[in-house]
A and B are shown apart, each in its own frame.
Chain A
Amino acid sequence: MDLYLGVDVGSVTTKLALMDKEKNILASCYLRTSGDPIEALKDGLRYIEKRFPKNGKIKGVGSTGSARHLAGVVVGADIIKNEITAHAIAAITRVPEVRTVFEIGGQDSKLIIIRDGVVEDFAMNTVCAAGTGSFLEHQAVRLNVPIEEFGKLALQAEQAVRIAGRCTVFAESDMIHKQQLGFGKAEIIKGLCEALVRNFINNLATGKTIEDPIVFQGGVAANEGIVQAFRDFFQGKKRIIVPPEHGVMGAWGAAILAMEYAPQKTAFAGFEVVDRQFESRSFTCEDCPNACEIVILKEENDIKALWGSRCGKWTPATMEKKWKEESLKKPLEIEEEESLIKG
C-alpha cells in the first residue's frame, strides 16, 4: 500500500497526517510543540508508527508550517511548502466547491480566497497576535477556564459583552474592566470570541469578497464559541463548514502535495529518526554589523542544515571548515599562553 506522510510543525502545535493513495487520512495526531520542534516531531512519528499499516510503504513526505525547513531536514521531506498552499489544497480536497478558507492557528491567521479550485488571493496576519489561538489560550488561563471548555462556555451566554479586540493588551485590560463591572465569565468569553472574529475580518478581509462555502480550519476551529461568532457575524447567511479533520489540514495538505509531486524515490529518513540524536546550535556571526543569527542543525558531527546566513558565506561546508580550523587552533593557543607564563 502506497502511503504519504505530511508534517506541519507550527509555532504552538505539531501535526502529522498519514494518507493513502485515495487521500484518506489513516492516522493523524495533534501535539504541542512546546518550544522543541524536533522532540515534538519525534513524538508524532512514534504515534504514527504505532498505527502504521503492516503492508504500508511511505512513497512521499511533505512538510509545512513555520518550522517546515527544520522538519523537512529531520524527517527527510520530498517537498517543503508554505502553510498557505498546504492549507488551501487540503480545503479544496475536502470541500471541492470551497470559495473561502479561514485558518486560525497558534500565532497567525490566514484568509484564502479560492475560485474554481485555485487560490486566487490570500492574506496573512503575522504582525499582531490578537486574532489567534495563543491569545485565546492566554485569556482562558487568565479566566481560569480550560481551553477545551472555553467554546462551550461561550455558547451558554445569552448575550455578549463588547470587548475591544484590536490589540491583545487593550483586549486584556478591557476584559479585566468588564470583569470588575460584574459581568459573568460566559458573557465575557462570548464577547472575546466576537472580538476575535471582528479582528480577523478587519485585519484580513478588507477589500476582499467573502463568498461561501467557507471552510474554517486550524486549531481554533475546534472552539465552538468562535465558530458561532463567525456565524453570527454573517447573520447565518454564509455556509461555514468545519471539517472533522480541521486540526490537521496543514499536515494533510502537505501529504497531498507530496503525492502530487510524486518523487521517484522518497527522501523519507524512516521511523528510525526517533532514535537519532539531533542537536541545534546557534551563533551570531560577527564578521559584519548585520550580526546574522546562524542556526545549525547537527547530527553528531554532521551538519545536516544551516540557516540564517544573509550574505551566504555560511554553508554546511564552510561551517565545518571553520570548526576544523578552530579545533586545530585551540590547543596551539593554550601552548602559547603557557610558554608566555613560563617565559
Chain B
Amino acid sequence: MKATFPHLLHLDIALGVLYPNLGVEIIIPPPITQKTIEIGVELAPQNACFPLKVTLANFVEGIELGADTIFMAGGVGPCRFGYYGPIQKIILEDLGYDVNFVLLDHPRYGVRPFIKALQTMAGGRVLSSRVIKVASLAWKVLRLSEDLERERRALRAQVKDPQKLDEIIEGALERLRTVDNEKTFQSIKEETMKGLENLERKETEDLIKVGIVGEIYIAQETKVNFNVEKTLGDLGAYVHNSVSTVEYVLHTLPFTRSREKLEAWKLAKPYLKRFVGGEGIDTVGSAIRYAQEGFDGVVHLYPFTCMPEVVAKSILTSVSKDYDLPILHLAIDEHSGEAGLVTRVEAFVDVLERRKKLKKRKLEVS
C-alpha cells in the first residue's frame, strides 16, 4: 500500500512523521502550484467548491507518483465537504485510476466504518503503546507547525528583516519532517523559538491588528489564498488567524472538544444559533471575539459559492455594524485575480490605519 492524502498547510509534515513509524508507505503529493490548480479545475465539476478541485488534483499528482491508496476525511452537516470523498472517488474511477479510496467519515455516520477506516489508515494496526507514542509525536508536530505560523503572522510587521523570519520558520518546518523522537522535537522547538526571539525588532508603535476568519481550507492554505496574511504583514499589520486544523480535529473527534471553538459558538449565539455547516458559526463567533479583543479589522476568506460562509457573510454585516468592525470579504476560486485582491487588501489596510488615527485624535480631544 502506498497512500497519498490532500494537502492542508503543514498537514503533510505531521503525516510524514506519523506514517513511516506505522509502517505505512506514503507519497506526499507535490506542493500546490498553478499546475495543481489547473488539473483540479479541469477534472472537477465547474460548480464544485474550490477546495474539492485542489484536493482532487493532489490525489491525481500523488497517483502519478505511484500512490495506490487515498486517505481522505469526510465532513458533517449541510456543508458540501461531506460529498468531497464520494465525488472524488467517482471522478478518479471515471479517469480509470485503480485506487483504494479510504474515507474517514464522522463516527456519527456509523461507528464501525469509522473504526475500519481508522484501522486501514493505521496500517491495520491496533492501538498499541507504540502507535500511541508515534501519534502523539505527530500531533505535537502539527501543533508546532501551527504555532510557528502563528508567530510568523504576528512577527512579520514587527521584525526588521522579514526574510530572516521566513528562513527560520521554513528551516524549522523542514527539520520537523524528519523528526522521529521526542528529544529532537524539543530541541527544534527550543532553537526555533530562541531564533525568533533574537530577531531584530523594528520600532513599531501601535500596529494595526487584523484577524482572519473563514473556511478551514481557504483561510489556512496560503498556497491558494494568495498568501493574504503575508500581504497584510508586509503592509504593516499584526495578523492573527482564527482557523486551525488542530482545533478542527479536536472539535470533530467524539471525546474531545475545542475550547476556542466552544467560546466562538457561544459568542455567535445572539446572531446564529443553528449549525449551518462548515465553519459558519466559527466565522461569526471569531469575528466577534476579534472585535472584543480590540482588533482593528477582520478579513473573511472563503471559497466562492461556499454555503455556510455565505450565511456567515450576511450575518457579519450586522456584526460589523454592531461592533463597528470593518470586515473585508474575499471569495477565492480559480478565477480570482491576484492584482484585484492585493488592491483590495491594500485599500483595507489604509482604511484601518486612517480609522485608527481618527479614533486616537478623537480620544485626545475628549
Contacts and interface: CB of A to CB of B under 8 A. Distances in A.
A291 B35 contact: yes
Contact of B317 (A119, A122, A126, A207): A207
Interface stretch (B10-18, B283-291, B344-352): B344-352
Interface in A76-101: 81-85
Given A207-B317, A289-B34, A118 B355 contact: yes
Interface in A125-165: 126-127
A224 interface: no
B312 to A, nearest CB: 14
Contact of B351 (A81, A122, A290, A312): A122
Nearest to B358: A118
Contacts of A122: 344, 347, 351
A83 B33 contact: no
Given A126-B337, A207-B317, A291-B35, A81 B358 contact: no
Interface string B340-363: 100110110011001100100000
Interface in A160-183: none
Interface string A268-299: 00000000000000000000111100000000
A267 to B, nearest CB: 19
Interface residues of B, number: 24
B241 to A, nearest CB: 20
A120 B324 CA distance: 10
Given A66-B339, A126-B337, A291 B34 contact: yes
A119 B349 CA distance: 11
Interface of A: prevailing SS: loop
A52 B245 CA distance: 60
A187 interface: no
A81 B350 contact: yes
B347 A84 contact: yes
B130 interface: no
A108 interface: yes
Contacts of A207: 314, 317
B93 to A, nearest CB: 25
A90 to B, nearest CB: 14
B36 interface: yes
A290 B350 CA distance: 30
A300 interface: no
A82 B33 contact: no
B30 A289 contact: yes
B326 interface: yes
A119 B350 contact: yes
9 contacts: A82-B350, A84-B344, A84-B347, A85-B346, A119-B347, A119-B350, A120-B355, A124-B340, A290-B35
